[in-house]
Amino acid sequence: MFKNNFIVKIFLILIASFVAVSCQSNPEPIAYGEDSCDNCRMTISDPKYGAELISDKGKIFKFDSIECLAAYSMIIDQKTIASMWATDFSNKENFINTDDALFLRSENLRSPMGLNLSAYQNLNSLYKVKNEFGGTNLRWEEILNYVKSEWK
């Protein structure tokens, strides 16, 4: 009886571990120069503009730009989106949830797909870049509307 309980406990621990790993809720590092954009299929090459979408099942979709993330998010079932993330332009190692990110559209910051969008963790970072390069502040809903109007 002890042996059976032990085997059942081990089995349950393994199942719980598998479920925890398979339901990813945080972004993972992008392999720049290797990973391909799930929207446009280009190789993701510029670490200032990467983005990710995590599905409700934990699958991670990677993008070479904020505009590709936005375009992709508009063509899939919204219920399947767990979270969306953009690379912090001022700190390439950091992802920001699109719900919390601040965005800048600047003709002087050329993003991979040409809509010139970048993301920031806070206002200080955004204004530091904006003072140097100019541009317009946007929130996520405005990004969606902008991408929709530019990529018909």
Closest CA to 47 of 115, 124, 111: 111
For 54, residues 6+ apart whose C-beta sits below 8 A from its C-beta are 24, 25, 26, 27, 60, 61, 81, 82, 83, 84, 85
- Measured between alpha carbons, how far is 143 from 99 in angstroms, rounded to an integer? 12
| Single-letter residue type at 142 | E
Share of the chain above pLDDT 70, in %: 84
Per-residue burial over 21-33, b if 16 or more Cβ lie within 10 Å, else e, is eeebeebeebeee
User: Which pLDDT tens digit goes with each residue over 95-146?
Assistant: 999 999 999 999 999 999 999 999 999 999 999 999 999 999 999 999 999 9
Is 72 in a helix, a strand, or coil? helix
| Single-letter residue type at 125 | S
Contact criterion met (CB below 8 Å) for 118 and 130: no
User: Which pLDDT tens digit goes with each residue over 10-20?
Assistant: 544 544 444 44
Residue 106: phi and psi, rounded to 5, are: -140, 125
Residue with the larger pLDDT of the pair 21 and 98:
98
Could you tell me the pTM of the whole model?
0.82
